[in-house]
Amino acid sequence: MSQKRKKPSAEFKTKVVLEVIEGDVSVATSVGILHIQ
């Protein structure tokens, strides 16, 4: 049986976006963290 993909929580997404805005993490890194295609 296939596994369902775990969706990131809204809190986690907000944390990643704030890190990008602050300049702590690059956009490319955040895409990798969130598994966005």
Q: State the pLDDT at residue 33.
A: 75
Kindly give the confidence (pLDDT) of every residue in the chain, 37 residues in length, as a single tens digit, with 9 standing for 90 and above.
Answer: 677 877 878 888 888 888 888 888 788 887 787 776 6
Domains in the chain: how many in total?
1
Token pair for residue 1?
């049986």
Residue 29 lies in a domain: yes
Q: State the pLDDT at residue 4.
A: 82
| CA distances for 22 relative to 8, 13, 19, 36, 37, angstroms | 20, 14, 5, 20, 23
Residue 12 lies in a domain: yes
Residue 27 lies in a domain: yes
**Contact status, residue 10 vs residue 36, Cβ threshold 8 Å:** no
Token pair for residue 19?
């890190």
Q: Domain range for residue 27?
A: 8-37
Q: State the pLDDT at residue 37.
A: 60
Token pair for residue 28?
């490319």
Residue 17 lies in a domain: yes
